[in-house]
Chain A
Amino acid sequence: MATRGFTGRRPPEATRERLPPGQYLEQDFPVLQIGPNPRIDMDRWSFTLREGSRPLKSWNWEEFSALPRTAWRGDIHCVTKWSKFDTGWEGVSVDDILAAAGISAPTEYLLAEGYDDYITNVPVADLTGPKAMVATHYEGKPIEPDHGGPARLLVPHLYFWKSAKWVKGLRFTKKDEGGFWELRGYHMYGDPWREQRFTGD
């Protein structure tokens, strides 16, 4: 259905090819979150792998910072319609986290958990490979609190609500359990290229 009188402002073709459907290119870095930035005491920061409620392995900040480093540069896509190109991140890949824990993933699904009690579900296969990292640096600098620092999950091939800010751990689950937004009408998987914004998309 064409909208009367709407012509739109098409981005250049090179931009359009990189934009998933319904997205627009943003130069700034918008901030989306459900509440205040959590106040995190770095002396007590930890990152923990759990299976259900059972801890499998935990690192403090110093230990986590000593894990092998990974860098990634590319495009990110937020379900609120903005995309940002060529973003540069560094951190520890989920593959390296599992290797450092000396385990393979015990289940096929997990929930990423944030210090703000936010949770979001991601299939393990979308984190390994290595498709995802726990990022600590953005464009060469420690990630600012507004963008999820000191550490956030980065799963760039899914809508950015999956990249939990202020991440404190990954909890393996037997089933694919919905997280905060997934229980509020948002898509369980969230592939921007298939425009999976909401349930049923």
Chain B
Amino acid sequence: MIDPVARPLPWQTATLLAIKPVTRRVKSYRFRIAFDRPILAGQHVDVRLTAPDGYQAQRSYSIASAPGADGTIELMIEGLPDGEVSGFFDSVAEIGDTIELRGPIGGSFVWRPEDGGPLLLVGGGSGVVPLLAMLRHRAAAAPQVPALLLYSVRNASEIIAAEELAVRARDEAHFDLMLTLTRAGGRRVDGAMIGEALDRLGAPRHVYICGGNAFVGQAADLLLDAGIEPGLIRTERFGG
């Protein structure tokens, strides 16, 4: 798994090619950017915005697109009401704008086709974004690898890539989707749900969990309770 990258990671200029709504609060942003190293599914980029007086703000965002050679990446950014950077994307950014970013970053929460499966992906809310990159990569490069996405969101209007996931679940023989809505009488991820996911998928070779802090902690504990080896589980979290 170790792939030492001994080269500096330069800031680069990326051009915004397209903006599309994903959910009420999340939008997709496609950038033209040519990295000097390959992207791995699950990685993120750092974005840096600069005010006229030189003040800068940086944030990290997961890459949603599968690794590809077309010289573009897709980010999905939730416009947070107080978000200094996400608020810029939500209400200021326009097609044709240029911003600085650098990447791809991260060598832990990544999946390569040769890593194989079965692949258990557990996502909460916008934590599904790096998992979506893995699913897209898997479909293109290793469709025989069994994969199951257990995806928890508050309500149906917040499902990221809802149609894409439904189509994948229908058309891809080895991809299985379990969706749970937590609001309005819904159900949070629990031990029985993890048990069902493991029954449907078989023993996973790799587990990736991404979401808010409490969600990831609980999902990881439930998987350990179910007997999954800790070394198979990779986590990525956002929020305090």
Contacts and interface: CB of A to CB of B under 8 A. Distances in A.
B230 A185 contact: no
A197 B10 CA distance: 12
Contact of B55 (A8, A80, A181): A8
Contact of B57 (A24, A36, A184, A197): A24
A30 B192 CA distance: 28
Q: How large is the interface on A (under 10, 10 to 19, 20 to 34, 35 or more residues)?
A: 35 or more
A81 interface: yes
B114 to A, nearest CB: 17
A199 B7 CA distance: 6
Contacts, number: 129
A32 B210 CA distance: 11
A110 to B, nearest CB: 20
B8 A6 contact: no
A200 interface: yes
B52 A36 contact: no
A7 B29 CA distance: 20
B107 interface: yes
Given A10-B55, A29-B240, A198 B8 contact: yes
Nearest to B56: A22
B60 A81 contact: yes
Interface of B: 2-9, 13, 46, 48-52, 55-60, 84, 88, 92-93, 97-100, 102, 105-109, 213, 216-217, 220-221, 223-224, 230-231, 233-235, 237-240
Interface of A: 1-10, 21-22, 24, 26-39, 80-81, 116-117, 146, 178, 180-181, 183-185, 197-201
